[in-house]
Amino acid sequence: MNSSAAIGIFDSGIGGLTVAHAVTTLLPNENIIYFGDTAHLPYGDKSATAIQAYSIKICNVLLQQKCKVILIACNSASAAAYELVKEYVGSKAKVINVIDPVIEFLAENYEGKRIGLIGTKQTVNSNIYRKKTDSLDKDITLKSLATPLLAPMIEEGFFNNNISESIIQEYLKNDTLNDIEALILGCTHYPLIKTQIENYYQGSVKVLDTSEIVAKYLKKYLVENDAQNPLNAHIKHFYVSDFTQSFETSTKIFFGEQIRLEYYPLWE
């Protein structure tokens, strides 16, 4: 593995920027190549077959850039396409999803606890979190709730306002999430509304930011495999499959600088 090679990160839109920001904060020397599949967002209401097709196309782009790691920064794609992507990429790069790091974190910290999960329909209906949690044999009770309005709401810039407040509260008061001790933000968009969710629970429920958990998991992998970038110089390169104003605005908000977006259509 070329330790100075980039980390490739992809998502359907701005959600994966929460992961990219967490990665650049924790690993400031790493080169980042991000692909936002804005032409097909959100992934949460797409079929598994469609998500797999998008994911393989994006992986081709990241492999052409010689990425050492491909990070699937999307729960829907992690649930639907991880095994296929891992097989497709083979030994060319390490493939990491955003689900396994969270499962490992639960095993280490939440044995015997009641955990809530909110995510897209694709993530929740795949039942992947429940299967992986049950396989831990840690007596963890998982309560899952699909929250399909949240990702498109965030993509459209509706967070930290009265509109988002009403939608968030309507979901969180659902009986499914009664008596939980922690809540997994099972979509990489959701850290953008983490503060609103924390305000709702008033400290009674620990809100788990998966972007931070995934970044720590990635750092651990790089350290253990002596694959951290030894150079101080770092590059951030962003591809999008369709130009959207919200994505351009969000990249500037996340990284505190104007980011040049390169248009890269997946099918042309």
| 123, 187 contact by CB (below 8 A) | yes
- Does the annotation flag 78 for ligand binding? no
DSSP letter (8 states) at residue 44:
G
- Per the document, the length of the chain is 268
- Does the annotation flag 75 for ligand binding? yes
- Does the annotation flag 189 for ligand binding? yes
Residue whose C-alpha is closest to residue 122's, from 186, 196, 40, 217: 186
- Does the annotation flag 43 for ligand binding? yes
- Does the annotation flag 76 for ligand binding? yes
Interhelix angle 210-224/16-26, rounded to 10 degrees, is 50
- Does the annotation flag 171 for ligand binding? no
- Does the annotation flag 15 for ligand binding? no
How far, rounded to the nearest angstrom, does the alpha carbon of residue 142 sit from its chain's CA centroid? 19
Positions marked catalytic: 74, 187
| 142, 182 contact by CB (below 8 A) | no
The structure tokens listed for 246 are 């919200």
- Detail the residues annotated as belonging to a binding site for substrate: 11-12, 43-44, 75-76, 188-189
- Detail the residues annotated as belonging to a binding site: 11-12, 43-44, 75-76, 188-189
